[in-house]
């Protein structure tokens, strides 16, 4: 066994419901105190701040980040989603702080890790390994990953779930929703009940590592022999509901390719977009978590290593067909057709269309730019993202037209948006029209 050395000091995960509830209570009190202090400071300078101004301060973001990072589980997952899905729309200071939840999760202490493995593998499990590294190679919202070498010489990556995560999902989601309600960030007239129910269901699935293992094996079969992708092989003998064992595949962070030649960046972004289209229109199965950490790049083989299939979702044929109609209209530069298809998919409802159709048309013109370019579209063009952000913030300011899309649409859009942001991060150039046409 290899003991921890210079890794970050572990932070115990609160596993009891009462201890987690107490954390939320302390978080609410701390944020409220921060709002009062910030309000007093701004009033003393002659300003009249809004509730949003007082809540979205770097100091409060630090409080939220630190507490959610220690709670892990569903609470931390919500923070990650805010960073991942809305990061481009948030103030830079807040976005930077929330991004820590994607990269700097604190591992649990070795004693807590050993206790978790004792419960799942039984005492004496160490005898099955030639080496087990107690320093995690990754730590995320609901689990951390360790590298191990079996007596048979298999190099494995083993994901171990944090204690108490599965049992705390429902209460964590409810508590985070309550915090958002109290803060005033969510309009009272917006019914988030269906969304909360789906969030709980999705998180319960993500917390079932045997369920994830089946999706891992299925994607391994679907992409077997593919030149662009590599998927770890499931090690079923060591997998349990909260322990997932798979082959270890080497690779560096995909974002590091920003320094790679343009052609290599273009190839990676193109391959990921082609995979997204296959998931939507061919597989009927989509890995809906586009966290950059789920993609690694093997510089030796040039392949993209795909990780984390906990958020995999079945795509119904009628949903895929709705996207096909939308994308066909976008490709044909049919703005009205694209807007109508988007309404049917559930991007927005009649309120937004009736209130500001011109604004929607302007936003769609920007969003459809990748489809209408006869040359490879430059995702590194920050002007497009900037204009989209401005338009999106304008719509977000009008709470009267806030709308929760259907759940399937939300998850597909999460994946589409994540791949767009990754292509933008890589400053990739992709011939979007060429890769779309075969599917439309």
Work out the burial of residue 274: count CB atoms within 10 Å of its CB; fewer than 13 is exposed, 13-18 middle, 19 or more buried: middle
Domain boundaries, the chain: 250-440
Distance CA 194, CA 192 (A): 6
Count of beta carbons in the 10 Å neighbourhood of residue 385 = 16
352-401 confidence digits (pLDDT tens):
666 666 766 777 777 777 777 788 989 887 766 666 666 555 555 555 55
**β-pairing verdict for 295-297 and 229-230:** unpaired
Catalytic residue among 133, 266, 289, 408: 289
Cα–Cα distance for residue pair 422/95, rounded to 1 Å: 16
Known catalytic residue: 191? no
* Mean pLDDT, the chain, integer: 76
Q: Alpha-carbon distance 64 to 24, whole Å?
A: 10
Half-sphere exposure of 349 (CA within 13 A, CB side): 8
Which of 108, 153, 154 lies closest to 134, judged by CA?
A: 108
Q: How far apart are the first and last CA of the chain?
A: 54
- In the prediction, which pLDDT does 394 show? 57
Would you state the structure tokens that stand for residue 266, as one six-digit string?
Answer: 């273009």
Judge contact between 4 and 110, C-beta under 8 A: yes
Asked whether residue 56 carries a pLDDT value surpassing 60, the answer given is no
Nearest-angstrom CA–CA distance, 156 and 153: 9
203 versus 427: the higher-pLDDT residue is: 427
In contact, 203 and 118? CB cutoff 8 Å: no
Q: What is the pTM of this model?
A: 0.77
Give the model's pLDDT for residue 398.
56
Residue with more model confidence, 330 or 40: 330
pLDDT, tens digit, 9 for 90 and up, residues 241-274: 999 999 999 999 998 999 999 999 999 999 999 9
Angle between helices 193-206 and 73-86 (to 10 degrees): 110
Least confident interval from 150-154, 208-212, 304-308, 329-333: 329-333
Smallest CA-to-CA distance from 379 within 328, 432, 339, 323 is with 432
pLDDT at 423 over 50: yes
435 vs 181: which has the higher pLDDT: 435
């Amino acid at each position: 066994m290899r003991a921890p050395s210079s890794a970050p000091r572990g932070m115990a995960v609160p596993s009891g419901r009462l201890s987690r509830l107490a954390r939320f209570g302390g978080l609410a009190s701390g944020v409220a105190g921060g709002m009062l202090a910030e309000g007093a400071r701004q009033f003393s300078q002659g300003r009249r701040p809004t509730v949003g101004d007082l809540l979205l301060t770097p100091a409060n973001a630090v409080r939220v980040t630190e507490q959610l990072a220690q709670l892990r589980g569903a609470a931390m997952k919500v923070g990650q989603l805010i960073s991942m899905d809305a990061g481009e729309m948030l103030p830079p200071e807040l976005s930077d702080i929330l991004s820590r939840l994607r990269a700097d999760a604190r591992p649990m202490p070795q004693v807590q890790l050993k206790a978790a493995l004792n419960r799942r593998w039984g005492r004496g499990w160490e005898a099955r390994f030639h080496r087990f590294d107690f320093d995690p190679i990754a730590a995320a919202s609901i689990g951390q990953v360790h590298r191990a070498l079996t007596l048979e010489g298999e190099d494995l990556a083993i994901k171990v779930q944090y204690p108490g995560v599965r049992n705390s999902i429902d209460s964590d989601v409810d508590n985070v929703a309550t915090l958002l309600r109290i803060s005033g960030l969510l309009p009272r007239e917006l019914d988030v009940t269906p969304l909360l129910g789906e969030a709980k269901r999705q998180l319960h699935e993500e917390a079932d590592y045997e369920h994830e293992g089946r999706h891992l094996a299925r994607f391994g079969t679907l992409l077997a022999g593919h030149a662009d992708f590599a998927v770890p092989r499931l090690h079923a003998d060591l997998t349990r509901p909260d322990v997932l064992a798979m082959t270890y595949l080497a690779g560096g962070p995909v974002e590091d390719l920003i320094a790679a030649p343009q052609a290599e960046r273009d190839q990676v972004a193109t391959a990921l977009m082609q995979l997204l289209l296959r998931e939507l229109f061919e597989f009927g199965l989509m890995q809906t978590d586009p966290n950059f950490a789920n993609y690694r790049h093997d510089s030796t083989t040039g392949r993209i290593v795909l990780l984390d299939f906990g958020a995999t979702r079945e795509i119904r044929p009628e949903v895929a067909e709705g996207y096909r109609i939308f994308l066909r209209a976008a490709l044909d530069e049919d703005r009205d057709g694209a807007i109508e298809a988007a309404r049917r998919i559930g991007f927005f409802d009649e309120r937004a269309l009736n209130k500001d159709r011109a604004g929607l048309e302007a936003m769609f013109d920007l969003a459809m730019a990748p489809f209408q370019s006869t040359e490879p579209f430059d995702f590194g063009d920050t002007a497009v993202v900037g204009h989209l952000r401005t338009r999106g913030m304008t719509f977000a300011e009008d709470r009267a037209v806030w709308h929760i899309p259907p759940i399937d649409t939300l998850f597909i859009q999460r994946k589409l948006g994540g791949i767009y942001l990754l292509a933008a991060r890589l400053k990739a150039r992709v011939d979007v029209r060429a890769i779309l046409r075969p599917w439309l």
